[in-house]
Structure 1
């Protein structure tokens, strides 16, 4: 085998491995929103309500709201299994904000995302955890 043929095969192998690595599903959600200020959201009831309406499909969504809305079902099913530690903290902050400040919207979200209550117990354990 010539040097050129070996180099070409090596290049093809590296490109294939790179394509597989890029196509593989991530173990965690994109950390882009790890710096999202959840406490600021919770402290602004009007803004929190807007996000709630976005998640319920009852109002417009910001780009962040759309991104969060897409992962809510999976995050609920897996009790935030793909969340980074920071994202777990953010989810707990926002959920507790809904529960205390907008309980009606929280109940609507629960009915929309977990109508049978299948994930209620595991999600409550997640909310009360401190990892």
Structure 2
């Protein structure tokens, strides 16, 4: 299971478009509160996969996620990357059905999966 691209993209959950880096506007989002709350997690999941019920943060993530995946999160700060790793690890271990659907949605041609596989393994995320 290669969920690496979603991890990279979810890193940007707490970000907003910026010129060189995504801004820190959403850095105060409590990722633990989202991933540990089934209702909130489903809200963000539906936003990302269906465009339904999006919060402003979810809408932003939905917009930047494809770019973040394509560029390997080039505009992400270290804080964004830490957050993404946390979310990816949680989804892979606790919600594999969500993870698989996100990966298939954002990388249907499996272009980015291999690109990020080694990076995730290096960061201690088992694929």
**Do both share a fold (TM > 0.5)?**
yes
| Post-superposition offset of 1:129 | 4.5
Aligned residue pair count = 106
Q: 1:35 to 1:127 in 2, by over 3 A?
A: farther
- Counterpart Cα distance in 1 of 2:69 and 2:30: 21
- 1:103 match: 96
Q: 1:56 to 1:67 in 2, by over 3 A?
A: same
Are the counterparts in 2 of residues 49 and 102 from structure 1 also a CA contact under 8 Å? no
- 2:57 match: 64
Could you list the runs of 4 or more consecutive aligned residues of structure 1 that deviate by over 6 angstroms after TM superposition?
Answer: none
What residue ranges of structure 1 are gaps of 5+ in the alignment?
Answer: 1-24
- TM-score calculated relative to the size of structure 2: 0.73
- Give 2:43's match in structure 1, choosing from 50, 61, 65: 50
Higher helix share goes to which structure? Answer: 1
Q: Does 1:34 align with 2:52?
A: no
- Counterpart Cα distance in 1 of 2:118 and 2:25: 26
- Counterpart Cα distance in 1 of 2:21 and 2:122: 19
- 1:3 match: none
- Counterpart Cα distance in 2 of 1:127 and 1:39: 20
- TM-score calculated relative to the size of structure 1: 0.71
Structure of larger gyration radius: 1
Query: RMSD in angstroms over aligned alpha carbons?
Result: 1.8
| Post-superposition offset of 1:126 | 3.6
What residue ranges of structure 2 are gaps of 5+ in the alignment?
Answer: 1-17
- 1:123 match: 116
